[in-house]
Structure 1
Amino acid sequence: MKVEETPYRRLCSTKNILTVNGQFPGPTLYARTGDTIIVDVYNKGNRNITIHWHGAKQPRNPWSDGPDYITQCPIQPGGRFTQTIIFSSQEGTLWWHAHSEWDRATVQGAMVIYPKKGATYPFPKPYAEFPIILGEWWKEDIGQLYNETIQSGGEPNISSAFLINGQPGDLYPCSKPDTFKLMVDYGKTYLLRLINSALQEMLFFSIANHKVTVVGSDASYTKPFSSDYVTISPGQTIDLLFTADQSPNHYYIAAKAYVGGAGIPYDNTTTTAILQYNGNYTSTSTPSLPNLPSHNDTKASVHFTGSLRSLADKNHPVDVPRNITTPLFYTLSINTLPCLNNSCAGPNGTRLASSVNNISFVDPSIDILQAYYYHVNGAFGTRFPNFPPFLFNFTAQDLPLYLQTPKQGTVVKILEYNATVEIVFQGTNLVAGDDHPMHLHGFSFYVVGWGLGNFDEDKDPLKYNLVDPPLQNTIAVPVNGWTAVRFKADNPGVWFMHCHLDRHMSWGMDVTFIVKNGKGLGAQILAPPPGMPPC
């Protein structure tokens, strides 16, 4: 993979973007369950870069996971790094992307993991399959956007367009000729591997006049269910079947933002592609648009996400942890920090921040994995709290201002090997309540419960789904709501967890887990590979 500057024209203007091998979106990687792939990453660009293999569990191999200053220092311009990607048990769709600043806006691509040889999909084999990558485009340079946002302390500029497979679609200026077209034959069934690579927005997605059947999410099979629309978080993948069973014509495929928080600026445009039937017919002059939910329809968002269930059959069993040894309660908050002379662009001249349990994460100067492995003192603290420091009505409309200021620090949470972990994520209404798509590296987790409002520790666990909860690596915690997940800490190493809305991640809504080594070689971190990028 060669990361390089490449000129791309969108929305009537041309700019240089970082790409892999000159392609945007980048090349698709193909593998089978159980495969190991070795990728040489060359940085021929002008900025530091890292690559993350999103959803690959990387057993005992955090060295190749990719988040900068967590498991490696960035690959500097002119440098290279050989990464090993281990596809242990996942099957379905994952993706890869840059994990440094906001460069994943253009440095991204799909990963398709087929069943092992001799195995088949747990649904009828589709006639054909297509990756569909939803993205976000800014007319300005992404590095500049990141720097301006961090320096100003305010919200980032909203995007200029959303994208389907790198194209905005014909509702935007100068975009009609390059609109992505999906060519289909009447009566055939197709598999869409849907990925949300947008930096800052959850998205609603739909195909006009066609229902989709959900069969997987985050490289784990689900019980099939039919829907008119999809809600998909940044970082998430969803596998969809649809049958070309309508009158041969042209139909819009469309996506637009879902924003649950009140008063949060967002891009209110709609990206489109064309579903085009093959054959001889006269198409209508303008394709019909699908009925997407309203931009702030939280009920539609949680209804879709709450419908996901693991397939849980004899070939795809579930193993939900029952006896929890490590219960964690993590509040997710937007915060503010004081700014000299009230000169920042956040509320009342403050600097916007975000936190987990009131700790806003600060990147260290050496990556945490190397500091941990080589026993470097002083690089991080180890007392990340299991519970928030203040208990209050987390989702109340008016909360006292003193709660808005977090502590800042590089603090990790240590987990014993094979600990059974439950995290209850609780969204708060500090500054501005919002949805938080939380992503955990190195693991998938079972989503055993969710709800709107405050978590009730007495009543809500009684309603957990411990029979067929979905197995995911990214889950949207609903605005002013909660989500409970469970996993077994059986992967030793250093693993990042963060909100996948990149502004929230950069503001500090992050936790780093260190899973200690177990007994025996098979339960210990692998030795570091040669050529780790220098700090």
Structure 2
Amino acid sequence: MGCYKSSLVLELLSILLIQVFFVSLASKNVSVIDWVIKEANYTRLCSTKEILTVNGLFPGPALHLHAGDTLKVNVHNEGTHGVKQPRNPWSDGPEYVTQCPIKAGKNFTYEIILSNEVGTLWWHAHSDWSRATVHGPLIVYPKVGSNYTFRKPDGEIPIILGSWYKGDVMEIITEALSGGGEPNKSDALTINGQPGDLYNCSKPGTFKMVFDHGKTYLLRIINAIMNEEMFLMVANHTLTLVGTDGAYVKPVESSYIVITPGQTMDVLITADQSPNHYYMAARAYYGVVYDNTTTTAIVKYSGKYSAPSSPIMPSLPDYNDTDAVTSFTNKLRFLETKDHPIDVPKNVDRRFIITIALNTVACPDGSTCVGPDGDKMAASLNNISFNHPEMDILQAYYLGKEGYFTTDFPTTPLHVYNFTMDPMLGDYVTTTQGTNVTVLEFNSTVEIVFQGTNVLNASENHPMHLHGYSFYFVGSDFGNYSIKDDPKKYNLVDPPEVNTIGVPKNGWAAIRFRADNPGVWFMHCHLERHSSWGMGTVFIVKNGTTSSTSMRRPPHYLNPCT
């Protein structure tokens, strides 16, 4: 495989990372910034290719804000992720859900409105597979005059896990959707844009961090990978998780973390080992087409000592170590503070049991596709594969235009069977397609149980993400969900507040939230090929009774849909 970037882009990237590392906690006082999305020619030692970038950077530029801030980003020629955007779905980003794509040569101004998020979030494009290279950190500091719940670190470092494809990612998914089969897997996984020195051609650009002995650093970890849930370790060092998805958690000490696509984690690490060189390493957990490469960065201690011929490598969990995933996930607990109270709904107004499945749909016009039995690959929630309409759902809903969606998304599976049996019978492979959404009353309380299935022998977790909200992850287990018995296992005392969860392979996961953010909000699997196949749906949350509990008016300019 090839190696990254011209010297100019490498230099720009290292400037960006140094600025993030030494950033001041003072207010940035930034109101409007301009970004240009364009193709950049990245010359690698082994090959040359063009990729889509923001301001010529991969990963893209970091945004620094304080809790409660508002920032306008004028994007010339797409999105934000994890921000709840109170009453403001107009700047949420998903194509044909809350806006139509920005046309070539045009621009759109996103208004990023923060509420109670604190920690690490991220922004990314939400059009086809362009997020593979169009993404970056969104760092939210506590309100001016407030502090973290942990001791101020001596420094902070963004760690962005990504995917690298030799081919054009847009062509890869377009060809896969047209032919009906699986898209090509990535050719490498990356840390801050580099696969690491396990690849000879990437060795000169391997990302390196310098630690001073005795100091503590905050790693702001983002999984921007397209299709893989990841294990991450730093050899011989303990990682202390203190936040995830912009919310605090009770500190969790571990030798490794597990992070799904779409998730962010704030992790403290203390340089308490003998001065040496240590690998930070990450590799995938499970997956039918997972990229089984290992990406690395290097932690170097400052000072004089004999440098080793090779850094010390951590012993990562095996790619199929489900026990390691479960053990780590079960440790997550919400950390309540005066500014961040907990509000887990104890009573529920609307309940959903939603099956997650890989499926097939008939190849169009009687032709033969390369999916199972000559059909096209698809994915579904409650046996409905989401179809994007010709006008975005938000505009259609706001303007009262009919025919673009229906409000009959089922609250329970259309077919009830032994969801996790192996092998799965063929009767449940085929799915229907539609733009079926759910309408929620303002301030209603909602519970969703995501039930994994073994249709088409799907052997991976599903990271489910809901736009516009953080939610409480109240329980999960393996097997088929029991309405009678499993709610008794819920944690309604201190469940973590997140915006993305990994639904266990052949298991279930339950979330609860209060529908107090009016607007149109996309829910989807963050494995990108599953989302492209239709594993998503939409919640429309109605306005409250006052202007402050109602959706904001649209901006003066909206992207045209035709």
Quick check: TM above 0.5? yes
In structure 1, stretches of 5+ residues that fail to align are 44-49
**Partner of residue 47, structure 1:** none
Read off the aligned partner of 1:200 and give its amino acid letter. Answer: N
- Check conservation: 1:194, 1:239, Cα contact below 8 A: yes
Q: Distance in 2 between matches of 1:157 and 1:454?
A: 32
**Partner of residue 243, structure 2:** 216
Written as runs of structure 1 = structure 2, the 5 A alignment for 1:231-380 is 231-259=258-286, 261=287, 264-339=288-363, 343-380=368-405
Taking a change above 3 Å as real, the CA distance of residues 300 and 9 of structure 1, as seen in their structure-2 partners, is: farther
Aligned residues: 525
- Check conservation: 2:363, 2:375, Cα contact below 8 A: yes
Instruction: Tell whether 2:551 aligns with 1:525.
Output: yes
2:99 counterpart SS class: coil
**Partner of residue 479, structure 2:** 453
Instruction: Tell whether 2:115 aligns with 1:79.
Output: no
Of residues 54, 58, 63, the one that matches 1:24 is: 58
**Partner of residue 515, structure 2:** 489
- How much has 1:339 moved relative to structure 2? 2.6
**Partner of residue 425, structure 1:** 450
**Partner of residue 510, structure 1:** 536
Q: Distance in 1 between matches of 2:237 and 2:75?
A: 40
Q: Distance in 1 between matches of 2:45 and 2:541?
A: 46
Q: Distance in 1 between matches of 2:483 and 2:256?
A: 33
Q: Deviations over 1:306-327 (max 9, x none)?
A: 2111112444321101110001
Q: Deviations over 1:429-473 (max 9, x none)?
A: 011222110000000000000001111111111111011100000
**Partner of residue 498, structure 2:** 472
Read off the aligned partner of 2:520 and give its amino acid letter. Answer: V
Give the TM-score, by structure 2 length.
Answer: 0.92
- Check conservation: 2:424, 2:457, Cα contact below 8 A: no
**Partner of residue 101, structure 1:** 128
Instruction: Tell whether 2:160 aligns with 1:133.
Output: yes
- How much has 1:342 moved relative to structure 2? 6.8
- How much has 1:373 moved relative to structure 2? 0.3
1:54 counterpart SS class: coil
Q: Distance in 2 between matches of 1:349 and 1:2?
A: 42
- Check conservation: 1:20, 1:27, Cα contact below 8 A: yes
- How much has 1:365 moved relative to structure 2? 0.3
- Check conservation: 1:345, 1:351, Cα contact below 8 A: yes
Give the TM-score, by structure 1 length.
Answer: 0.97
1:289 counterpart SS class: coil
Q: Deviations over 1:485-532 (max 9, x none)?
A: 000000110000000000000101001000011101111111100111
- Check conservation: 1:11, 1:173, Cα contact below 8 A: no
Read off the aligned partner of 2:534 and give its amino acid letter. Answer: G
**Partner of residue 31, structure 2:** none
1:431 counterpart SS class: helix
Q: Distance in 2 between matches of 1:185 and 1:137?
A: 31
Q: Which moved more, 1:113-122 or 1:426-435?
A: 426-435
Read off the aligned partner of 1:320 and give its amino acid letter. Answer: V
Q: Distance in 1 between matches of 2:374 and 2:121?
A: 40
2:451 counterpart SS class: strand
1:174 counterpart SS class: helix
- Check conservation: 2:230, 2:258, Cα contact below 8 A: yes
**Partner of residue 193, structure 2:** 166
**Partner of residue 36, structure 1:** 70
Read off the aligned partner of 1:12 and give its amino acid letter. Answer: C
Read off the aligned partner of 1:517 and give its amino acid letter. Answer: N
Q: Deviations over 1:213-272 (max 9, x none)?
A: 00000000000011111110000001100100111111000111111x5xx122111000
Read off the aligned partner of 1:124 and give its amino acid letter. Answer: R
RMSD: 1.1
In structure 2, stretches of 5+ residues that fail to align are 1-34
Q: Distance in 1 between matches of 2:101 and 2:367?
A: 33
- How much has 1:11 moved relative to structure 2? 6.7
Q: Distance in 1 between matches of 2:88 and 2:560?
A: 18
- Check conservation: 1:336, 1:431, Cα contact below 8 A: no
**Partner of residue 46, structure 1:** none
**Partner of residue 403, structure 1:** 428
Read off the aligned partner of 2:238 and give its amino acid letter. Answer: K
- How much has 1:401 moved relative to structure 2? 1.2
- How much has 1:204 moved relative to structure 2? 0.7
- How much has 1:346 moved relative to structure 2? 1.6
- Check conservation: 2:53, 2:60, Cα contact below 8 A: yes
Q: Which moved more, 1:496-505 or 1:173-182?
A: 173-182
- Check conservation: 2:344, 2:472, Cα contact below 8 A: yes
Percent identity, please: 57
Taking a change above 3 Å as real, the CA distance of residues 323 and 56 of structure 1, as seen in their structure-2 partners, is: same
Read off the aligned partner of 1:308 and give its amino acid letter. Answer: L
Q: Distance in 2 between matches of 1:257 and 1:194?
A: 15
Q: Distance in 2 between matches of 1:316 and 1:496?
A: 25
Instruction: Tell whether 2:93 aligns with 1:66.
Output: yes
- How much has 1:275 moved relative to structure 2? 0.3
Q: Distance in 2 between matches of 1:344 and 1:275?
A: 47
Of residues 398, 405, 412, the one that matches 2:437 is: 412
Q: Distance in 1 between matches of 2:159 and 2:43?
A: 20
- Check conservation: 2:116, 2:340, Cα contact below 8 A: no
- How much has 1:173 moved relative to structure 2? 3.2
Q: Distance in 2 between matches of 1:411 and 1:248?
A: 57
Q: Deviations over 1:61-88 (max 9, x none)?
A: 0000000000000001100001100011
- Check conservation: 1:214, 1:225, Cα contact below 8 A: yes
**Partner of residue 12, structure 1:** 46
2:163 counterpart SS class: strand
- Check conservation: 1:11, 1:172, Cα contact below 8 A: no
Q: Distance in 1 between matches of 2:536 and 2:232?
A: 28
Of residues 417, 435, 438, the one that matches 1:392 is: 417
Q: Distance in 2 between matches of 1:135 and 1:266?
A: 13
Read off the aligned partner of 1:198 and give its amino acid letter. Answer: I
- Check conservation: 1:342, 1:348, Cα contact below 8 A: no
**Partner of residue 214, structure 2:** 187
- How much has 1:338 moved relative to structure 2? 2.5
Instruction: Tell whether 2:118 aligns with 1:91.
Output: yes
Read off the aligned partner of 1:8 and give its amino acid letter. Answer: Y
Q: Deviations over 1:283-318 (max 9, x none)?
A: 111112111111111111122122111112444321
Q: Distance in 2 between matches of 1:344 and 1:288?
A: 47
1:488 counterpart SS class: strand
- Check conservation: 2:423, 2:457, Cα contact below 8 A: no
